[in-house]
Structure 1
Amino acid sequence: MPNETVTLSILKADGALIEGREDTVVREVPLTIHYNRDEIATLLCSPSQTVELTLGFLFNEGFIRVPEDVYEIRQDSSDHMVWVEGKPCVLQKELMSKRFVSACCGKSRASFCFANDALMVKPLVSTYSIPLQEAYNYAKFLQSYLPLFQETGGVHSGGVGNKGDILLTSYDIGRHNVFDKLSGEAFRTKLSLENHVIFFSGRVSSEILLKVAKMNVPILIARGAPTDMALSQATALNITIVGFAREQRLNIYTCPERIIF
């Protein structure tokens, strides 16, 4: 396991009292991803689950679609480099950074997204639903499963659940990386996420919502608040967003029929 934290000497102020302390700080590293010898991106991330993060990033950006698309993965942990050899990709790398305003999924709602997203994201067709208590249980798990956050206060966490069981978990300094790690682990283990729930410690932006759509997950439960654009996109993409999920409290913003009272 990589070293996730460092211990530093700091000054701590409590009112007028100033004293020297040691503090645990979460690590941040640059992970550079290469695909078929092309440098694709450098992600700032926590130094764990880097293979999962790489696979999830490549999947969510459209470079790979099935495990057979990946021929070989090599990584250099000391230099934080990953090389992936795989099926030639028809998507242009330049589209990853080209943003534009368009109608979301052909609807009248405006969305601001990457060009690749418009090629990959489609409304979900799903009748999957869960009991309200199951949603509460995922929120409770989020509150208790934060060991690195409790130690450092510096990471987001998330997971994948099904019928009350916790199947996958991840954490990272970056919100987006949490979803890429979950996506990469599901990709690596050939786990279809169509009838599953993602739960997440942070807020829900439109970019987070698009990650969920690419993973074909119908229900997202978050401790934080959603943005209006995320809710607009969720309505168009037929995704249930639950926010402010804390113990026995939550808000259901979109597609409420998937939460059974």
Structure 2
Amino acid sequence: MPNQTIAHSILKAKGTSLEWVEDTVVREVPLTVHYNREEIATLLCSPSQTEELTLGFLFNEGFIRVPEDVYEIRQDPSDHMIWVEGKPCVLQKELMSKRFVSACCGKSRASFCFANDALMVKPLTSTYSILLQEAYDYAKFLQSYLPLFQETGGVHSGGVGYKGNVILTSYDIGRHNVFDKLGGEAFRTKLNLENHVIFFSGRVSSEILLKVAKMKVPILIARGAPTDMALSQATALNITVVGFAREQRLNIYTCPERIIL
């Protein structure tokens, strides 16, 4: 696995004293994704789980729908390039060009909400529910599964849970990338997420909510706050959104029937 951090010399201030020290900084790399020899996007990301990130990104953007759509995937870690050969895809470019700039920074495709997203999501029908304590446990796991954050303060983390067990994890400098990595791993292993939980260290925007909807996950637990647009979408798509989850406290914003005592 590539190095996730680098050492950087900094001038540290404490009160009126200054001292030169070595600090640990998280790495950020540009990953350029090609599909059928066409450059699709450059994703700014942490240099880990890059195949999962690519598959999740292509799935969420509608290039691939099932694992059989992917014929070959190869990459050059030194140049941060990745190539995917797969089933030819005809995208609705006119709809894709209609976009809303989000409050999230970044120049990749994932930083926009496109009109054709609405064609890829439907209200969920899952009746899956979890105990309130299980939700607390996932929030507690987020606090312990942050070694890179504790070292650098520079990444988000997330995971997929089922019946109290954590079965997938990911971390990245980008919030969107965390979900694409989780989705890509589920896609590659043919894991159906319809009766699972996603938990996440950041806030819930409308783009994040749409990624959860495309993955067909009925419950999202986040340490941060949701936006009003995300909650409107969650209500329409029948997704339970939990925010401000910290060990023994949390807020249930939508579809509360899935969280039971």
The residue number in structure 1 matching 2:197 is 197
The residue number in structure 1 matching 2:224 is 224
Distance in 1 between residues matched to 2:226 and 2:32, nearest whole Å? 30
State the number of aligned residues. 251
1:23-172 residue pairs with structure 2 within 5 A? 23-92=23-92, 95-99=95-99, 113-172=113-172
The percentage of aligned residue pairs carrying the same residue is: 89
For 1:137, give the aligned amino acid: D
Describe the SS at the equivalent of 1:40.
strand
**Residues 100, 23 of structure 1: alpha-carbon distance in 2 compared, 3 angstrom cutoff:** closer
Shift of 1:122: 1.0
Question: TM-score, normalising length from structure 2?
Answer: 0.94
Deviations 1:165-188 (A, max 9, x none): 100000000000000000000001
Distance in 1 between residues matched to 2:72 and 2:115, nearest whole Å? 27
Describe the SS at the equivalent of 2:170.
strand
Deviations 1:189-247 (A, max 9, x none): 11010000000000000000000000000000000000000000000000000000001
Shift of 1:121: 1.1
**Residues 206, 50 of structure 1: alpha-carbon distance in 2 compared, 3 angstrom cutoff:** same
Question: TM-score, normalising length from structure 1?
Answer: 0.94
Describe the SS at the equivalent of 1:231.
helix
Distance in 2 between residues matched to 1:113 and 1:194, nearest whole Å? 23
The residue number in structure 2 matching 1:6 is 6
Describe the SS at the equivalent of 2:48.
coil
Describe the SS at the equivalent of 1:217.
coil
Describe the SS at the equivalent of 1:177.
helix
**Residues 94, 167 of structure 1: alpha-carbon distance in 2 compared, 3 angstrom cutoff:** farther
Shift of 1:158: 0.1
**Residues 151, 4 of structure 1: alpha-carbon distance in 2 compared, 3 angstrom cutoff:** same
Describe the SS at the equivalent of 1:18.
strand
Distance in 2 between residues matched to 1:6 and 1:234, nearest whole Å? 39
**Residues 20, 93 of structure 1: alpha-carbon distance in 2 compared, 3 angstrom cutoff:** farther
Distance in 1 between residues matched to 2:97 and 2:134, nearest whole Å? 38
Distance in 2 between residues matched to 1:222 and 1:202, nearest whole Å? 6
Describe the SS at the equivalent of 2:195.
coil
For 1:175, give the aligned amino acid: R
Shift of 1:113: 3.1
5+ long unaligned stretches in structure 1:
102-111
5+ long unaligned stretches in structure 2:
102-111
Describe the SS at the equivalent of 1:89.
coil
Confirm or deny: 8 A CA contact 1:71 1:86 kept in the other structure: yes
Distance in 2 between residues matched to 1:14 and 1:47, nearest whole Å? 32
Confirm or deny: 8 A CA contact 1:61 1:96 kept in the other structure: no
Distance in 2 between residues matched to 1:94 and 1:60, nearest whole Å? 18
1:173-252 residue pairs with structure 2 within 5 A? 173-252=173-252
Distance in 2 between residues matched to 1:9 and 1:114, nearest whole Å? 41
Confirm or deny: 8 A CA contact 1:61 1:116 kept in the other structure: no
Deviations 1:116-166 (A, max 9, x none): 201101111110100000000000000110000000000000000000010
Distance in 1 between residues matched to 2:90 and 2:141, nearest whole Å? 40
The residue number in structure 2 matching 1:108 is none
